[in-house]
Amino acid sequence: MTTPNLRWSQLSRKLFFLGVAALFLLPALGSHSGLLTAQKSRRKPYALIAGTVWGPDDRPMYGVMVKIRKGSDKPNKVRWQLYSDHMGEFAQRVPPGEADYILSADLKGLKPADGKPIHLVQEVTIHIYNDEREDVGLHLAH
């Protein structure tokens, strides 16, 4: 009387199911990546202004309103307003192409923990050439 080798029959069964699963999953993965490529190609290009607001103690500051305007605009014409997040960071998409942008911080209504008034050290001017990312820091002082 011979007994079948169970180890080989279990292994061949697992390989069979793995092969069947691969047949169904590979076409699905291929079409998914093709779909993602098609979606990326339809997106409009943009440039990104990203930065961090730094407080007087050189720590990131939360809740500071950042104002962005084009360099060619009047000083009171603000194109974008956004707030810094819990890490002091902000990001804004702008149109691609050569342009200057001026960043400032609106500190009205902002009450620091130490009670001392704070101000922006200086406005920051950045130059965008095309569809790239520019990182910047806004520094606040007492």
Three-state secondary structure readout of 32-81: HHHHHHHHHHHCCCCEEEEEEEECCCCCECCCCEEEEEECCCCCCCCCEE
pLDDT at position 39, please? 60
pLDDT score of 11 more than 60: yes
pLDDT at position 24, please? 65
pLDDT at position 43, please? 87
pLDDT tens by residue, 72-129? 999 889 999 999 999 999 999 999 999 999 999 999 988 888 888 999 999 999 999 9
How far are the Cα atoms of 14, 16, 23, 41 from residue 29, in angstroms, in the given order?
22, 20, 11, 19
pLDDT at position 113, please? 80
pLDDT at position 65, please? 97
Domain boundaries defined on the chain: 1-43, 47-141
The superfamily CATH assigns to domain 47-141 is Carboxypeptidase-like, regulatory domain (2.60.40.1120)
Whether pTM exceeds 0.85: no
Query: Would the CA dihedral through 92, 94, 99, 105 be positive or negative?
Result: negative
